[in-house]
Structures are given as C-alpha cells and as structure tokens.
Chain A
Amino acid sequence: MTGRGDLDSASSAPLHPAAREVLLAAVDRGYADPRRLHRAGREARLLLDNAREATADALGVRPDEVTFTPSGTHAVHLGLLGLVRGSRRGDVVVHSAVEHSAVRHAVAWGARAAEVSCDRHGRVDVDALAQAALAPEVGVVALQTANHEVATVQPVDELELPDGVPLFTDACASMGRLPLPGGWAAAAGSAHKWGGPAGVGLLLVRKRARWRNPFPGDDRVDERSTGFENVPAVLAAAASLQAVVAERAEAGTRQHELVDVVRRRVAAEVPDVEVVGDPERRLPHLATFSFLYVDGEALVTELDRRGFGIASGSACTASTLTPSHVLEAMGVLTHGNVRLSLQRDTTRADVDAFCDVLPALVAELRARVGM
C-alpha cells in the first residue's frame, strides 16, 4: 500500500493492481521448468510465451526480439555490450554524459568511452553524437530515451548514425510511460519502474542487429537469457506493462499537468531554487529541483518526517560523496537536490500538500546554517 506522500516511483513503483492478480495466479501455475515436456513444464512454457507476446505487443516489437533478464541493469549490460561484441568497427562507445550509471559501468568494464556533453536541460545534441560516431573504432552509440534524474526526453528519433554503428537505448526511465522511439538496435527496460515486480529486466534486440552474447551463454528457451526463468514475475511484469500502456494517454496527460503544478509552485513559492530539466519535453511523472544553501540529506530526512518520500541526487546523500554526474554534466546546482516522481494514483491534493510544506521547510533548513 502506497502512502499518499510516497513520491519516488522513479526509484521503484509499487506493484500495479493488474500485476498483483496475475502474479498470485502464476505463482501456482508457473513454477516448473519451461523446457520440460511434461504437463507442468508445458504450463510454465505457455505462461512464458504469453508474457513475451504481451510484452512485444505492448511495445510494438516482435516476440522474438524480447528477452527477460534478472534486472534492468543486466539488460543494459547485455544490450550494450552485446552490440559492442557484434561490432565490426571497434569497441568505442559514444555515449551522452547523462547516461545512467549502468551504461557507464558497462562501458568501463567492457569497452572504451567517448562522452558527448548536453545542454543546461540535460538534452543531448544528436548532431554532436552523430559526428562523434564517425570517429575510427566507434562500435556503438548509447543514448537514453529519457533521463532518470531530471526527466528530459532525448531526441532519439532524430539521431542519424553512420552505417554499421548501431544504437543502444536505455529505455528504463520511460518504458511503458512513453512509446519507444525508433532507430535502435538494442534497448533495455526495468519492470519495477513501471509497476511490475523487481527482478525483471527487459532486453530488446532487433531481428537484424549484430548482437553477440558478451557473457557466458546458457541453454534456455531464449538463447539470449541465462539462468532459470522467473515465470510468475515475468508474466506479472508483462501484465503491468500492458495496463500501464493502456492507461498512459490519460495518466501521462494528468501527470504532466501535475508536474507542471509542482514546477510552477516551487519556482514561485521557494526563493533561490533551480527547477531542473526540460520543462516540456520530459517524462510526465518526474520533477527535479535544487535548493540553494540546503543540504540534500537534511531535506530528504525532514520531508520523510512529514510523510513525504522523495529521492535526492546530491552528493551528501550518495555513498560516493561525488555529486550526481547528470547534474554535473548539466552544470546545475548539485546540492539541495530532490527528485519527486508521481505514483499512478497521485492526486492534485497530494502534490499540493507537498508544495504547501516545502517553503517553510526549506526556510527552516536555511535558517539552521544562518541563511
């Protein structure tokens, strides 16, 4: 059960009601090994195939382009590094400065990086990306569909890459909420961000893409996957994705407007604040701010005490003590940073309640340090 003040769906959304029903039913029906020819095995295989078809249908791709993975992070690693392994040109990955750390870690582990910067909104210049892709030994370009911290949607559809340089797109932040862009050879998603269970990632590999498994293989129903399939979770993830896609015209419009309210109210009612990310071309459900002179950890803690659960990208709240590389690349204030992301049932009253407590709270935290 979500509290009204749980405004951190971008970190992990609660299970969608549609996924809950399917999960409970599938736990009893989908336990067996889907490779086995006996009755229970055939039942599990049927559920797995259903999940694949429902997912493909929701995303507008072919069922044989869909692979379920143990996490979104693993899907990113597999998708990106598989394209690197399949490349005839080389192992340099041109990627934007605002990619998720899963992309950056994959590149650091198994490729070489060439980073392309972004503007103040975190938006990447596709011409600069395409230009960088012309360099020798560039095997893959990586560009996210939308940024997970600041909501800015990237112009993936406008990207025109040289022949032989495939695109990997990390769609984890947007999958289900926005249609997939075109032009990619491999893509990744993460079920717990759209209201599916955690532990289900989605790897999409286009039929004609040069993708080679970068990790040890296995002998599963799907040759790109490894390990025993979590059939109930995968089926629940697919059911949730279908539901979210069916709801998104209505939910997206409603959430986009609610985020407009939050952005407008915070900018008007709290002095010395930076409203971060593209105001229009953005994810519908996510708003990010940086408050001058405020410690991000203190802000998160105080909001929690008042019943609001939100995330922060400030260094003081991270294990690394370095600021968010996304905020850094954008050149926006990294301290006092908070990210609010709406749940599917968040109302105008909920966002107003957040906006109502914020000005006094920020003032109080500033007063503590004499500001």
Chain B
Amino acid sequence: MSEQPGRPGPRGEPVALELDCREVPCPMPVIELARHLGDVEVGELLAVVARDPAAAVDVPAWCRMKDQEFVGADTAGDGAPRYVVRRLG
C-alpha cells in the first residue's frame, strides 16, 4: 500500500495524504483510514482510494461514528473511486 499526497479534493483543496487501498477488501480501507488519520493535521484532507464497493458506504459511516468530516467521493488519477475525509480531531 502506498501513501502519498493525492490530487486536489472535490472543492480544489489539497489532499495531504492519499492511501492506496485499490486491491484490498472491506474492512481494510476503513482500517487504513483510521491508522493514518493522525498522519495529517487537524483541518487537512486525507483520502482513500478503494475499489471495494463497501467503501462507498463505510467511509461516510466511519466519519459519522468517529466525528470526522466526509468531504465527498471523486476519483483518483487512474479513475478508481476515491473517498475524501477531513480530520476534525
């Protein structure tokens, strides 16, 4: 799994860290998100790229349960689904 800055988020904001979870099944994308939340500053964006269809529901649900902001879904450079989160705490 690679971790690097991603292309800008849905409103043009920079994405500080993008997690490559393209090939891992649920619940790994959400687990990676939780592991790396602390790697970005409060207020910054963190994204996870995941092809697993469960991520579309589970990333927003994780944000709700863990009091983080789900910014939205877009796509990574290669067209894979990407889910963008703002660290609130």
Contacts and interface: CB of A to CB of B under 8 A. Distances in A.
Interface in B24-78: 25-28, 30-31, 34-35, 52-54, 56-58, 60-62, 65-66
B60 A335 contact: no
Contact of B57 (A293, A316, A331): A331
A334 interface: yes
A293 B65 contact: no
B27 A293 contact: yes
Interface of chain B: mostly helix, strand, loop or mixed: helix
Contacts of A290: 61
Interface string A272-299: 1010000000000000001011110000
B34 A335 contact: no
A294 B34 CA distance: 13
Interface string A311-350: 0001110000111000110011111100000000000000
Interface size class, chain A: 20 to 34
Contact size class for B? 10 to 19
Contacts, number: 67
A331 B57 CA distance: 6
A371 interface: yes
Given A316-B25, A336-B27, A371-B31, A272 B65 contact: yes
B53 A335 contact: no
Nearest to B35: A370
Contact of B26 (A274, A331, A332, A335): A335
Given A293-B30, A332-B61, 15 more contacts: A272-B66, A274-B65, A290-B61, A292-B34, A295-B27, A314-B26, A323-B54, A323-B58, A327-B57, A328-B56, A333-B62, A335-B54, A370-B35, A371-B31, A371-B35
Interface of B: 25-28, 30-31, 34-35, 52-54, 56-58, 60-62, 65-66
Closest 8 CB pairs of A and B: A335-B27, A333-B61, A323-B54, A335-B26, A334-B54, A328-B57, A315-B54, A334-B57
30 contacts: A274-B61, A274-B65, A290-B61, A292-B27, A292-B30, A292-B34, A292-B66, A294-B27, A295-B27, A314-B26, A314-B54, A315-B25, A315-B53, A316-B25, A321-B25, A321-B53, A323-B53, A323-B54, A323-B58, A333-B58, A333-B61, A333-B65, A334-B26, A334-B57, A334-B61, A335-B26, A335-B30, A336-B27, A369-B28, A371-B31
